[in-house]
Amino acid sequence: MAWQSVPCLRWGVDPFPRGDGAVTLAVVAGQTYRERPQVPGLAALVAATWVQRIPRGEPAYPQRHLPTGGVEVRCRVGYEPQVAGVLTGPHVELLPPGTTVIGLRLRPGALAAVLGRPVADLTGFVVDAAELWGTAAAAAGEWVAAATTDDAAVGALQDLVATAALRAGVTGPEPLLAEATRRLMPWYAAEVRTVGADLYVSERGFRRHLLAGVGIGPKALQRTLRFQGFLARTQAATATGGDASGDGLARLAVDAGYADQAHLTRECVRLTGATPRAFLRGVGEACACGHDHSASYTPLLREAELAGSFKNAGRGAPSLAS
């Protein structure tokens, strides 16, 4: 099957940084992005849902999708749904004025469970959902277009995934994948080979298992989850007016599981295409204009608090002026 690779970023910034490493913000007045937690019945498969709107009469919006470790099911209102494979770096999608996008973010390993087959061939690609679910995907697109509320539009995509899961007889990712994902979270600071050994899987077998079930290997998944943990801390600070790119960046890096700030910088460039300070400046401006990522990041902060890591995770936004 020949799949089209589609540049896919969740932050509205110019994908091509200037020579000084800064990221140019594409400000679109009235552009909104709202996440919400998944309904309990699908929580083991779906991490979050979202609705994004680009107003009419404004410039097209360069949407930056970042690696999260999960596959996404997305539908522009008026079009059929698509499935975006797991990412290993940033990709940009230009959203025209007047666009509304409904989306689900699946948990690592969820799509493989629902499809009953490996998903490594989807990594870095965007495909029509009809290639995976046939006419049911087209019907879901029609229900999204006919919806009169955000809840109804999101519900149409939820029903698509729920029906596929019911037919496959699954309620969540394969247990080994779910446990591997949990152990690769940044607050555990475990070595990849140790995680595999603790799960009674050889190093090669562990890598093969994650490539098939998640779409990336264990090291890439750990790298992605660590950066998501870092973003959770910075988003918590941004939401309450903190300066996530201030002098506290080095402390944030270590707190999120990086060896030092240089380690964070290398990983941030790999995953976002920009240095941490440049990236966070753009994020701070974009997300102050109608973005809500709490459904993604609040659970990470809560789990980190329970694990006894991520200092200040349970005390609201941290003070980043070290």
Percent of the chain with pLDDT over 90: 60
**Inside any domain, residue 322:** no
CA–CA distance, 293 with 17 (Å, rounded to integer): 23
CA–CA distance, 229 with 187 (Å, rounded to integer): 8
Model confidence over 298-310: pLDDT tens digits?
666 666 665 665 5
- Tally of domains in the chain: 1
**How does DSSP assign 223-271, residue by residue?**
HHHHHHHHHHHHHHHHHTT--TTSTTHHHHHHHTT-SSHHHHHHHHHHH
Which of the residue ranges 71-80, 183-192, 271-280 would you say has the lowest mean pLDDT? 183-192
**Inside any domain, residue 232:** yes
User: pTM of the full predicted structure?
Assistant: 0.82
**Inside any domain, residue 24:** no
Q: Which residues contact 317 (CB under 8 A, 6 or more apart)?
A: 236, 237, 238, 239, 240, 242
**Inside any domain, residue 8:** no
Instruction: Dig out the tokens for 256 from the structure.
Output: 């999120």
Selection from 210, 189, 214 nearest residue 201 by Cα: 210
Where residue 314 falls (left for φ over 0; alpha for ψ -120 to 50; beta otherwise) is alpha
CA–CA distance, 127 with 50 (Å, rounded to integer): 19
Print the SS3 string covering 4-30: CCCCCCCECECCCCCCCCCCCECCCCC
Instruction: Dig out the tokens for 43 from the structure.
Output: 């929580």
Tell me which of 180 and 16 has the higher pLDDT: 180
Q: Which residue has the tokens 């037919």?
A: 167
CA–CA distance, 149 with 299 (Å, rounded to integer): 26
Per-residue pLDDT band at 17 (split at 50, 70, 90): very low
**Inside any domain, residue 65:** yes
**Inside any domain, residue 14:** no
**Inside any domain, residue 160:** yes
Q: What residues pair up with 63 in beta bridges, in sequence order?
A: 93
pLDDT at 2 exceeding the cut of 70: no
Per-residue pLDDT band at 195 (split at 50, 70, 90): very high
Tell me which of 40 and 171 has the higher pLDDT: 171
**Inside any domain, residue 313:** no
Q: Tell me the residue range of the domain where 167 lies.
A: 32-306
Neighbours of 182 (CB within 10 A): 14
Per-residue pLDDT band at 222 (split at 50, 70, 90): very high
Q: What is the mean pLDDT of the chain?
A: 82
